[in-house]
Amino acid sequence: MRIALVAHDNRKEDLMQWVGHNAEVLSAHELICTGTTGKLVINTLTQKEVPLVNVKRLKSGPLGGDQELGARIANDKIDILVFFWDPMAAQPHDPDIKALLRLSVLYNIPTACNRSTADYIISSELFSNPEYKRIIKDYSKYIQREI
């Protein structure tokens, strides 16, 4: 699985606790992270002494990392999005955040915005079932419409 991990500053510790708790499971997957979150994920997994997985660090969210993840979702290169965002703080790149979440819905990507949902996803039978294929809506009529 290609799992995107993102967290706002006030939620990074929550995400690192989740990553640490699930280190063994995550070590079998490709992790794609925005800037600082990726550095923290590598540190957390190293401390847990699990085999270091393939961790890809993108740009920081405000510097385009959220948009990089959105492009990966649109190009079928992300399977799950774990995005611990901070609902209590204004973000200067809020339009990018909304676009990322919109794309995760548009392309039917399982998305966790809190630990409970992330726990449900990672513990689901479907998480470890390689035969599961998510259904992506056919937008060809939308693309071919006359303007």
Q: List the catalytic residues.
A: 66
Estimate to the nearest angstrom the gap between the alpha carbon of 66 and the chain centroid.
10
Task: List all residues 6 or more positions away from 56 whose beta carbon is below 8 Å from its beta carbon.
Answer: 30, 31, 32, 33, 38
Query: For the chain, what is the total number of helices (H) and then of strands (E)?
Result: 7, 5
Residues 24 and 18: their CA atoms lie apart, in Å, by 11
Cα distance between residue 63 and residue 34, in whole Å: 10
d(C-alpha 122, C-alpha 142), whole Å = 33
